[in-house]
Structure 1
Amino acid sequence: MVVQSFKNCVLDELCSKDQLDLLDSVDRLRSQGIDHYVSLPQIIVCGDQSSGKSSVLEAISGVSFPVKSNLCTRFPTELVLRKTPHVGVSVSIVPDHSHNEAERISLSNFRETLDGFHALPELIDNAKKAMAIGSFGRAFSKDLLRIEISGPDRPHLTIVDLPGLIHSETKQQSMADVELVQDVVKSYMKEPRSIILAVVSTKNDYANQIVLKLARTADKTGMRTLGVITKPDTLIPGSDSEHMYASLAQNLDVEFRLGWHVLRNMDSETGAWSLPKRDAEERRFFTEGIWSTLPESILGIATLRERLSRLLLGQIAAELPGLIKEIELKSTACRTQLQKLGLPRASIEEQRHYLLTLSQTFQSLSKAATDGTYNNDFFGEARSDAGYQKRIRAVVQNLNQSFADTMTREGHHYAITDYCDEDTAPACNTKVKQYTRAQVLDRIKILIKRTRGCELSGTFNPMIISDLFLERSRPWQVLATSHIDQVARAVTSFLQHLISHIADASIGGILFQTLVEPALESIVKDAKRKTADLLAPHKYGHPITYNHYFTETVQQIKRERSRVELTCLIKDVFGVESLGPSAREYVIQDYRPLLNALMERNNPDMNQYACSEALDCMQAYYKVAFKRFVDDVAVEAVETNLIAKLSDILSPIKVTYLTADVVTGVAGESEQSRSKRKQLTNRLDVLVQGLETCRQFVVGNLHGTRDVAIRSARSDSSGFSSPFYGRESDEADENGSQDGVEALSDSAHEVLSASQAPGREEPPIPDDEVIASDEIVEPVNDDRGLRAITGKKKKLKKAREVPS
């Protein structure tokens, strides 16, 4: 193992104590495993197979790895370089999440430490065996090999080398391997805090190299991609290909905001060589031909180390405030899920106590929902479907109104087309039959003849009102039952949301099926039974009302009918089409025709008169009964017998009297639940530890971070000149960088202060996100710090976009 010692004043300047603290803080986060849950700033090396990625890694690190042209990187390798007084090498494996727990523990236990570099190749081979590469047909692995190299002359840098992208399957590499490698590379590229080092070999046309397409897909704006051109010595001097790659190096073709860099690496087939020899050959090569015309800042490994150190440092400084916020949100999500799981409960007392705690929360939230007080985070956003379903008072109010509207439209079995009022509006659908008043009177005439008693001719049996009303109100039972069913479905949905909110999914399902659902079914039965009781007087009894509205309605119906009849009579007598004002003058000398017409209005048909009187009374009584029934269903059936009983479905008193078997069956803990609690507890420990690491750095090094980023931005903005970034903009970039970094530092302080403020309330996490996934959702509240950072980070990024 060959180790190159290199000294560089620029690298020494980059390695101030504050900067070391900043990079070490992120390293501690990574070692704590927090990168499993949040994206950390990092540099990833990507490229097609045999593009020279491993040689680039060697040149950057100063450590010579065994490289052969017929081999390639078989797994992601994280190379951590740190400047320390003593030389040290450690190798460990970070297992992929696809492994089961036993495999993860086994791989995590692989940790070796060396005092020198001589045994590193053997350690790497042992790690391959631990990953089972070469066994069971496995050519590649998603597990991460972490190599930490420290020494007094190491650059301060962390880089992840990814397996080379494969174009097609071969005998040694199956299509599954091709897809596996692409999946690994894509997963690293898509991380928003990753800086992509896209390595392109001049041995192939860069337009045909997969890495550029994937980088463009993952980083559409090119803001976090730095291109690296390798093997320029294989190009024929003066050829079109050489000119094409020189143009690419100047960012004239495939444009990345971080620019391009050119390296000349040693060929592994040339025999033994050393890293000092490699660097000397590279410097000599770039002094000749077309490459000597390019800026020195984009040529050679020494300037690449400087660029990468600045990029990583600037990325970490810029992302730290947002990282703190993200960790806080993930921590809140973990706490929410752990709260649902509750404490470990092995004994019956612990299980009953858990149910008692759930019942208290259940009662509190159900009462708030039925009272229409939606202040708790449980209710979420009213505009969403889930948020509306949780507001059960609003849902029931709307359903009651819908029931009243439906009763108005469809509650009467038939409609009288030449008579209309607000309670029996003419139906526009085919559910309601359409009759004229004359047709209805004919039907009543038949009924009167068949139900005559001792009453005089021209009058009617009072019980005929019952028969007429029963026919008219025939749809009431179906509509009322349907309304109760709708309310029951709404309540079921509400209770499911409530149980999901207060209990973990493993417990919530059993809790709902065992305790909540049976109680709800009983309540719904009571509501339906009450609805049947409300219908009974209208179906089986005789009409009863002491409401003066009945007689007023009868008189109003008669007045309206008389008005229609008199209007027609006057029109006939005077020969006009309207009773309104007219320009035509009439001189009537004989008023006897009008008098005779009015006298002849009496109906000599006594049966017809009785039918008309009966219809008027039935219509008046229908209006009285209609209003009473709609209100009774809403108040007596829905409110009293259903909604008012919701909070008692899972009351502490009921939990107290549950048998031991029921308590254990509901609250007893499964192995899956215990495993999930352990997993969430470990995750929360990692997140809390990581959050403390970030906060300690921000508190102790806030001003130092500002100086770090300012120095990096200044050095980066003044160290590169290209057709895109002229020297004349240096001063503006420096000022902009300083302003941006200072604003960023202030924003970081604001985020930290907000997160540590006493009594600070965490932003609510939606239920589906808390349970179903680990995706981060922007907080609804307290986002002033994030907004400020978002705006101010743009200034910093603008300063850092200048390639060095």
Structure 2
Amino acid sequence: MYRFASTNTVAMEALQSEDHRNLLDIIDKLRSRGVSRYVDLPQIVVCGDQSAGKSSVLEAISGLTFPTKDNLCTRFATELILRREVTVAVNISIHPGPERSPDERQRLNTFRAEIDLTQPDLQKVVDEAKGVMGISDFKVFSTDILRVELSGPYQPHLTMVDLPGLFRAGNREQSAKDAKTVRKMVRAYVKNPRSIILAVVSAKSDFALQEITEMARELDPKGIRTLGLITKPDALDAGSDSEAAYVKLAQNEDVAFRLGWHVLKNRDYQMRDASSAERDEAEEIFFRSGVWTTVNPAQLGVKALKPRLSDVLKDQILRQLPALVQDIEMEISSTESQLRLFGSPRTNVAEQRRYLLQVSRDFTALIQAAVDGVYNNSFFGSAKTDDGYRKRLRARVQNTLTSFCEKMRQQGKQRIIVDTTSDEEELALDEISRAEFVDLAKERIRRSRGRELPGTFNPMVIGELFVEQCTPWRGIASNLLSEILGLANEILKLIVDHVAVQETASGILSVIRGSLEPFKSDLEVKFKELLTPHLEGHPITYNHYLTNTVQKVQEERRRKSLEKQLRTIVGHEEFASGRHVSIYPTRILEQLGKHIEVDMERYGGELAVDYMEAYYKVASKKFIDDISVLAVEWCLIDKLPTLFPPEAILDLQDDEVAHIATESDSLSLERTRHRQKLTTLEDAKSDLKQLDIHRTLGLPSPPPEAFEQIHSDNESEGLYEYGQTSLVEQAQHEEPSGRIEIINTGETELDWEPKLKKKKKK
């Protein structure tokens, strides 16, 4: 198996090495610069119900005395930054909230407070901070953060954010509305997927009724990033069900968190004036007796909690570092895109015209890509999304024309002529039997008769029948015209909104739509031009498809007639059997002779219907292609890239340019804000990239499972030692060295899961 070795046996310094400190310092620097406004940063958030003992927890960890007024809610978050140094030092400041104005930020940044390091009580500092933040009856809570930086020889490398305590009912000092505000503030921190939730639970009340437990399970349903902390265990009656329940909770057997639970004994009233050392000694004595001896000692007391929290935070930072860098890079890209959209400052006509020229170039490039169907630009997004598909003009035009073709095929005929074998067969409202339609054609021929011989027909009859059949074309074409113009207008607006600043987009779009009007008129004229010959002219075609279709239709009809006669002669069963049958040709001829059409007008009607249907096929195919190519493509789509060329910008008068592109004060402020954001993000990226990851890691970072509660068997006496010691325990028991070596004995792979052993009795 693997075992750990060191030059001087690994101690706390291995965990809290200079690399460890640098890692936390960089994250703290990012937070102090306001990077957390743009991306989520790894952090430990200390949260719990009011009177759960959060202040005592922070005091035990840092040695500072935090305000502990039981029924008064803290009005802001407090960031506690602890670092190991030879000398003791404290620095207290305020980090302004995101909504603060530049003047307010400057005023808050100048805040400094001092405390007596011999009696480090923060109550006075908190009161001063409330005054500077402007907290009063009118402003109950603040998004400003009180930042307390404390260094000393006994401090861990650790950063935590203490949040106001949760409460449900109001009183004179805090209302029900305040409770909602606190809940909203805590949720904002806890829902950060990179936050480690230090959920403080008081043993004085049922943990299931404490709001932080419910919130942690809601926002971290798998319990991956929550570490539970039980306080006030001395308030439990020895041997009671409540004590047993909390021991079970501490052993991760009830509410299971991946990081497990820890137990801390708070300073009680009798020890209110005791020193930190006395407090820690009393805690150790408490945990060496009673039921708590059955709990893993690595989960008890502040001495175990400090390195455990430090290690949890370090691991969370290392685990999140690649994704954090990626998020920062994405924000940088987004901010750069927004700054490109803002363009350079536009304080005069020359700068304004230069801005419009750039918009023109960007617009033309994107609309040309949309027309060509080349969707490489990030503007077009993903075809998997509705938003991405909306921007893909060529795809939408193609699909719209395909739909138009399908509508012409299914809905283009006024009456659908169907062959029926029975007079009782029901037809749809838009259907008509061939026999009935031939009768109508026969009547039309009779009323249009000229000098043609019986059995023939006036050629104008085909035109009249065709015009009636293609009546729906006008409505279908009109709908297509509206759809295509709608697509064009939509893509134009989307592109303008993408390449132009919002306050100039409407003016630019107005110019573009003005240029679009002639194309729109040409398109409408072309639609009418292509539709009119079919609805008002007479049939003209030189396509041999016409006669081919007529011949095929008539040949198919004769084949069916012959089949019918053969079935009559040989019988239906014999015909269907496929067996060899002998018949006399004269019988076939006799049978066919009985079905020669002697009604010359009806014969002419059938022939006219055949020609009309054949011509309809020829004309509809041509109409679909002409509308798609000559109208949609050449009158509109192909011309879209010419709508807003650079030449048009040069032709604009100065007053027109100023009207469109004058920059507002608000936009100027937005540009400044985005430039500051970009600088902040680029500095953050640079800081993170400078981290020597390999040196910082030094050792494979343990997964969260390393902190899971390990259960003993029923025979255990409660005294544990690890076959493979965790980093936290090494830090507590071994001497400092500053580095860690991993020695492979070749037996097993490295396993971060601690293995429990019973300690042998002497």
> Which bracket does the TM-score occupy, shorter chain normalised?
0.7 to 0.9
Output the CA distance in 1 between the equivalents of 2:573 and 2:250.
94
- Tell me which of 509, 516, 519 is aligned to 2:512: 516
Residue 555 (1) aligns with residue 568 (2): no
Aligned equivalent of 1:484, options 476, 481, 487? 481
Residue equivalent to 1:535: 531
d(CA) in 1 for partners of 2:51, 2:725? 41
User: Aligned pair 1:703/2:691, yes or no?
Assistant: no
How far 1:243 sits from its partner (Å)? 3.6
Which digits, 9 at most, give the CA deviation of each residue in 1:626-649, with x for residues without a partner?
221111111111111121111112
Does the CA contact (< 8 Å) of 1:50 and 1:72 recur in 2? no
Q: Structure 1 residues 471-480 or 558-567, which shifts more?
A: 558-567
Amino acid at match of 1:207: A
Deviations 1:710-748 (A, max 9, x none): 5x869x9799976399978643978xx9xxxxxxxxxxx
Question: Match for residue 111 of structure 2?
Answer: 111
Structure 1 residues 582 and 46 mapped into 2: Cα distance closer, same or farther (>3 Å)? closer
8 A Cα contact 1:258 1:801, kept in partner: no
Runs of at least 5 residues in structure 2 that lack an aligned partner in the other structure: 1-9, 731-748, 757-762
Partner of 1:503: 500
The DSSP-based 3-state class of the residue aligned with 1:82 is strand
Instruction: Quickly say closer, same or farther: Cα 1:506–1:104, change in 2 above 3 A.
Output: farther
Whole-Å Cα distance in 1 between the matches of residues 481 and 96 of structure 2? 55
The answer to whether structure 1 residue 159 and structure 2 residue 165 are counterparts is no
User: Structure 1 residues 545 and 292 mapped into 2: Cα distance closer, same or farther (>3 Å)?
Assistant: closer
Equivalent of 2:615, from 606, 621, 637?
A: 621
Q: Which has the higher contact order (CA 8 A, sep 6+)?
A: 2
Distance 2:237 2:577 in 1: 106
Runs (5+) with no aligned partner, structure 1: 1-8, 421-425, 738-794
Q: TM-score, length-normalised on structure 2?
A: 0.85
CA RMSD of aligned residues (A): 3.6
Query: Does 1:723 find its partner at 2:712?
Result: yes
User: Contact 2:228–2:260 (CA<8 Å) still a contact in 1?
Assistant: yes
Partner of 2:632: 638
Q: Is the 8 A contact 2:401 2:628 kept in 1?
A: yes
1:664-715 superposed Cα distances (whole Å, 9 cap, x missing partner): 3333323333233222222211111111111112xxx3332122x55x869x
User: Would the alpha carbon gap of residues 727 and 340 (structure 1) be closer, same or farther in structure 2, given more than 3 Å must change?
Assistant: farther
Residue of structure 1 equivalent to 2:760: none
1:64-79 to 2 correspondences below 5 Å? 64-79=65-80
Give 1:251 shift: 3.1
Q: Aligned pair in 2 of structure 1 residues 585, 324: CA closer, same or farther (>3 Å)?
A: closer
Which amino acid letter does the alignment assign opposite residue 622 of structure 1? Y
Preserved CA contact (<8 Å) 1:264 1:282: yes
Closer, same or farther in 2 for the Cα pair 1:42/1:620, shift >3 Å?
closer
Change in CA separation of 1:614 and 1:150 when aligned onto 2, cut-off 3 Å: same
Distance 2:253 2:225 in 1: 17
Post-superposition offset of 1:292: 4.7
Q: 2:260–2:707: 8 Å Cα contact kept in structure 1?
A: no
Distance 2:348 2:180 in 1: 49
Alpha-carbon distance in 2 for matches of 1:522, 1:116: 80
How far residue 509 of structure 1 moved from its aligned partner, in angstroms, is 4.5
**SS of aligned partner of 2:687:** helix
| Number of the residue aligned with 1:544 | 540
Residues 624, 256 of structure 1: alpha-carbon distance in 2 compared, 3 angstrom cutoff: closer
Q: What's the secondary structure of 1:543's corresponding residue? A: coil
Helix, strand or coil for the counterpart of 2:690? Answer: helix
Which of 107, 124, 127 is the aligned partner of 2:126?
Answer: 124
Alpha-carbon separation, structure 2, partners of 1:452 and 1:554? 22
Classify the secondary structure of the residue corresponding to 1:112.
Answer: coil
Work out the CA distance in 1 between the residues paired with 2:75 and 2:173.
Answer: 12
Could you report, residue by residue, the CA deviation over 1:553-579 in whole angstroms, capped at 9, with x for unpaired residues? 333343334444444455556666886
Deviation at 1:190, TM superposition (A): 1.6
After superposition, the Cα gap between the structure-2 partners of 1:800 and 1:458, relative to the gap in structure 1 and judged at 3 Å, is same
How has the CA–CA distance of structure 1 residues 429 and 796 changed in structure 2, closer, same or farther, with 3 Å as cutoff?
A: farther
1:353 match: secondary structure: helix
Q: 1:462 aligns with which of 437, 459, 464?
A: 459
Partner amino acid for 1:549?
Answer: Y
Q: Structure 1 pair 617/315, CA: closer, same or farther in 2 (3 Å)? A: closer
Rounded to whole Å, the distance in 2 between the matches of 1:575 and 1:258 is 87
Say if 2:182 is the partner of 1:181. yes
Kept after mapping to 1: 8 A contact 2:352/2:658: yes
Rounded to whole Å, the distance in 2 between the matches of 1:582 and 1:516 is 72
- The secondary structure found in structure 2 opposite 1:134 is coil
CA contact (8 A) 2:108 2:132 kept: no
Instruction: Tell me how far 1:128 sits from its aligned partner.
Output: 0.6
For 2:78 and 2:755, how far apart are their aligned partners in 1?
27
The aligned residue for residue 335 of structure 1 is 336
> 1:88-107 alignment to 2 at 5 Å?
88-97=89-98, 99=99, 101=101, 105=105
Q: Distance in 2 between matches of 1:600 and 1:632?
A: 47
Distance 2:750 2:94 in 1: 35
Letter in 2 for 1:33: G
Say how many residue pairs are matched. 718
Q: Equivalent pairs: percent with the same residue?
A: 41
| Aligned residue number for residue 137 of structure 2 | 135
- Pair 1:658-2:659 in alignment: no
